[in-house]
């Protein structure tokens, strides 16, 4: 008892429980004499047990039972039909391989045809390299006339170029008979030129006349029209 007893009385006085005067007297007597009657002691203990001590039975907290969630496992994926996919892939690839084979064969044919064509051109050029014929006036700068047609008395201007020092020029009538010929000296720059008067012996026929240049076994030709009638 002692200090705890007086503390309990103070608590009762503050809380307003019990008889204030009696509790004050009991406290004073106890502090003075350190004694308390049995009746007063039972009175104080009754108040303490009634108002100060906690209830002997406490409410138990409600227990919350947590139910674990049920995990939903997704079903496994359906098996893939591998043979069916492989068969479909084969069906798609076959036309591609066939098309590729056709394209490759076409490229081979084109290549072979190109080679044959090139060989033919080279052969033709090699066969005709000694006799080159140019039709029409001014077809090549190596041999040309100033006009495409002439009448009797007109002046024909002939010009061209060559690497030789001299060149032979001839004019033939429509029947391939020579009506004029001349040896022309080539200038230092490789060009040549000369003038011819249309008409005279052998120029009696109307038609296409041929001018031919000959040098070192090579010939070039160009044509022009001639009329034996005098120019107006």
What are the pLDDT digits (tens) for 122-132?
554 445 444 44
Distance CA 148, CA 226 (A): 9
Q: What's the Cα-to-Cα distance from 28 to each of 5, 11, 31, rounded to whole Å?
A: 12, 15, 5
At 126 the pLDDT is 47
CA angle 229, 142, 163 (to 5 degrees): 135
Residue spans in the chain of domains classed CATH 2.60.40.1930: 143-230
Judge whether 131 and 213 are in contact, CB under 8 Å. no
Q: What's the Cα-to-Cα distance from 119 to each of 52, 105, 115, 131, 146, rounded to whole Å?
A: 129, 21, 6, 20, 37
At 92 the pLDDT is 53
The CATH code for residues 143-230 is: 2.60.40.1930
- DSSP at 137: T
Residue 222, pLDDT > 90, answer: yes
CA angle 153, 210, 183 (to 5 degrees): 80
């Amino acid at each position: 008892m002692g200090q705890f007893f007086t503390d309990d009385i103070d608590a009762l006085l503050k809380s307003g429980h019990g008889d204030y005067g009696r509790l004050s007297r009991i406290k004073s007597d106890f502090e003075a004499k350190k004694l308390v009657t049995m009746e007063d002691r039972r009175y104080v203990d009754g108040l303490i047990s009634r108002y100060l001590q906690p209830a002997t039975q406490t409410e138990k907290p409600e227990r919350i039972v947590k139910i674990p969630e049920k995990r939903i496992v997704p079903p496994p994926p359906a098996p893939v039909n591998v043979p069916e996919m492989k068969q479909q892939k084969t069906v798609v690839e076959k036309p591609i391989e066939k098309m590729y084979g056709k394209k490759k064969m076409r490229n081979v044919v084109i290549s072979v045809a190109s080679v044959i064509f090139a060989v033919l051109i080279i052969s033709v050029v090699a066969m005709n390299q000694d006799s080159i014929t140019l039709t029409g006036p001014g077809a090549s700068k190596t041999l040309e006339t100033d006009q495409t047609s002439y009448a009797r008395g007109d002046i024909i201007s002939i010009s061209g170029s060559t690497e030789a020092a001299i060149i032979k020029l001839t004019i033939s009538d429509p029947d391939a008979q020579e009506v004029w010929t001349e040896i022309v000296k080539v200038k230092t720059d490789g060009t040549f030129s000369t003038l011819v008067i249309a008409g005279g012996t052998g120029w009696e026929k109307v038609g296409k006349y041929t001018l031919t240049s000959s040098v070192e076994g090579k010939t070039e030709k160009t044509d022009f029209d001639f009329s034996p009638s005098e120019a107006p």
